Structures are given as C-alpha cells and as structure tokens.
Amino acid sequence: MTSVQQKTRPRGPWLGAFLLAFLVMAIMAAAPGDSFAEPRLPDRVGGVPVIDALDTDKLSVGRHDFYFAAGWRNSGQPIYVPVIVIKGAHPGKRLLLTAAVHGDELNGIRVIHRLAAVLKPDQLHGTIVAVPGLNQPGMNANSRYYVGASGGGFQADLNREFPGATEGGGTAELYAGKLWSHLLRVGTDLAVDLHTQTQGSAYPLFVFADFTNPTARAMAFALMPDIIKNDPGEKGTLETTFIEEGIPAVTFEIGAPKQFQVHKIDRAVAGLENLMVQQGLLKGTVDTPKVPPFVGTSYTNIYAGVGGIAVLHVGLNDKVEKDQLVATLYDPFGHEIERYYAPHDGRVLAIATDPLREAGAMLVRILH
C-alpha cells in the first residue's frame, strides 16, 4: 500500500489573530443593546403589498392597496395600517383622507370605502391617499385611545401626539411619528381627517376649521355640513399639525361612534366629492346647499350635576334660545332630580345618546 503525504501550509500567528477578531465581532453582534437591526418585514400580507414608506410618484395610474408597517406590538408582531392610493391620469393635488385616528370612530372608514369604490382614475386630476383605520391598536381594543401594553397597559389620545417622534419617544409618539414622517406628511397638499363623537354621544355633520387659513375655510363650506366651528385648533391634532406646516386641513365630524350611519355617510361622500371639485381634483360644478351651515366660534357644555337618567328635550342641530329647557335628570324611580337650561342662544352641536349619566357627564353641547 502506498501512502500519500499531503502538504499543508504552516499555521502562522495570523490565523490565531483572525479567529480572535472574528470571535470578538460575533460577540458584539450578539450582545443585547450594542446594535439593532429591525426585523425584516414580509413583502405581502394576505396578498397585499407591505410598505414602510409611501412614494406616490413611483406608482402607476390606478388604484393601489397597501399595508403600511407603522410599528411593533409587544409580541414582536408588526402593526399594519391599511392604505388606499388612487392615482389619477392627470396631474393635480394630493388629497389625504384619514379615518379612525380615534379607534371607536368608524363612520369615516365606510366613507373612504364608498368613495374609493366610485372614483375613476381616468377622471381624477391628482392623487387620493386614504387611510381607513389609522389607530389600529385602538380599533382592536374597541377604544377611542391608542391602547398600549407596556407597563401593564396605557392609553394615549393619538390625536394629540402628532407630529410624533422618530426616535426617543414614547410608544404612541413613535407610532404617530412613523405615520407622519413616512405616510401622512410627504407630498400632501390638502387633508381631511374624518371623525365622529365618542361613545355615548353624537354629532351632526360638523366641521372644525381654522378660518385663518383661507383654503381650509373654503374646504369646510364645500363639505356641506350642518355646522362649522371656526376653531384655532388644538396642539397635536392632525388638523392643527398640517395647518402649522402650511397645509390646508379640516376635521370632519360624521355622527356617532361604533356604527355605520348610512344617511350621514351618504352626505359625507357627497361633501368630499364636492370638495374635490372645488379643489380641482374632479371636473364639475361646486354645489351650494340650500340651507347654509350654522357657523360659531365657541360652545358651552351642559353637564349632569349628579348621576341619573337623562331625558333630552332637544336634538342635534336644533336652534335653542337662552333659558330654554334642554334636559331633565331623573332618579332610578323616575322622580325628577334636576332641570337644565340653555345658557345662551345657539345650535345644538352634540348630545348624549346614553341616558345613563354620571355626575359631570355631558348632556348637551351648544355652539354660538
């Protein structure tokens, strides 16, 4: 038997140094807190493409559905926000529509669905970006608020968190920051944020608008609501954050929460189509309602003095006069506890829809 001797290269000191360096790098890569790589997102979920930033310039004419990766749950799973983009065949403005920034305010979702179903890209001058369900954690929890799990659970009003933060912020602030920086703000020319009243109460068709921005004022009237409040806005809301950026925006309140109110949805769709005509996204003639909206600048809430069962004597958008009886509160046996009167002339802007009212709960809101 013949043996074959294999030649090997002598192992010099360089090999030990290489192995040591490799080991050090591996330990550093594995050490928690020393480096961070965000988990890889899937390309699609349920057949729908997943994005972490929106660039409408790269899209073809037509409708596009996406899931926007807006954050991470405490289980490590991504939070997906649905986005509908309708890119028109003709150049024009980019209109942003958002719904359910408060998770229990759902009429706006159906408004977006209805509008997206009828818009024809070949007739559209510009682009519609619609977000039918901005606050996914709140929607999942049946809550107005952004509901987090950290620290045993917390609630934050997402519509007071914008523009949010891209690093170093709290959970809700980071969620708002990702939405603002990578989805909502970039390229937007006009914005309408769709809301309702919160649970236990209701609005008519109603618009908050800052009249110091003339385009926002015009948008408010084009939506053809029952009531408009000339309002300077509130820090952290989507509407005010856009206005501060010089982008015309309004808040469109559409009825009551946790339901689809067909008549109000029909009117809201018609109002948005009218706004799109006014702003040049659609061809046509701008409609003017036969009855103009009531415009006010401030409101007064009438609160229950004690707990009890409320009977209201006025409805939404009713005209009221000073000292008019608007509500009566009863005890559990049906005995009258207290009567409530309008403090000034005005219009009924909001009402309690739940008759069971705690002390300090709103009964009626009157705009003047």
- Asked if 187 contacts 94 with a C-beta cutoff of 8 angstroms, the reply is yes
The CATH number for 273's domain is 3.40.630.10
Q: For position 10, what pLDDT does the model report?
A: 45
Q: How many domains does the chain have?
A: 2
Residues 208 and 312 in one domain: no
- 208 falls within a domain: yes
Residues 245 and 108 in one domain: yes
DSSP for 72-124 reads E-TTSPEEEEEEEEEE-SEEEEEEEEEE-SSTT--HHHHHHHHHHHH--GGG-
- Asked if 368 contacts 348 with a C-beta cutoff of 8 angstroms, the reply is no
* Dihedral sign (CA 138, 171, 157, 248): negative
Q: For position 152, what pLDDT does the model report?
A: 67
Q: For position 168, what pLDDT does the model report?
A: 87
Residues 157 and 249 in one domain: yes
Which structural domain, as residue segments, surrounds residue 340? 298-367
d(CA 207, CA 139): 23
Residues 255 and 318 in one domain: no
Q: For position 257, what pLDDT does the model report?
A: 98
3-state secondary structure of 45: strand
Task: Using 50 as the pLDDT threshold, list the residues of the chain that sit under it.
Answer: 1-11, 15, 17-35
Domain boundary among 278, 308, 327: 278
Residues 79 and 165 in one domain: yes
Domain boundary among 217, 244, 278: 278
Residues 271 and 308 in one domain: no
Residues 123 and 271 in one domain: yes
Q: For position 122, what pLDDT does the model report?
A: 98
Residues 78 and 167 in one domain: yes
- 8 falls within a domain: no
- 292 falls within a domain: no
Entry pTM: 0.89
Residues 242 and 321 in one domain: no
Residues 196 and 157 in one domain: yes
Q: For 340-362, what is each residue's pLDDT tens digit? A: 999 999 999 999 999 999 999 99
Residues forming a β-bridge with 346 = 320
The CATH number for 330's domain is 2.40.50.100
d(CA 144, CA 126): 32
- 30 falls within a domain: no
- 257 falls within a domain: yes
Domain boundary among 278, 312, 334: 278
- Asked if 164 contacts 236 with a C-beta cutoff of 8 angstroms, the reply is no
Binning the chain into helix, strand and coil, the percentages to the nearest 5 are 25, 30, 45
Q: For position 154, what pLDDT does the model report?
A: 86
Q: Report the 10 Å Cβ neighbour count for 98.
A: 29
Residues 264 and 312 in one domain: no
- Asked if 135 contacts 77 with a C-beta cutoff of 8 angstroms, the reply is no
Q: For position 169, what pLDDT does the model report?
A: 83
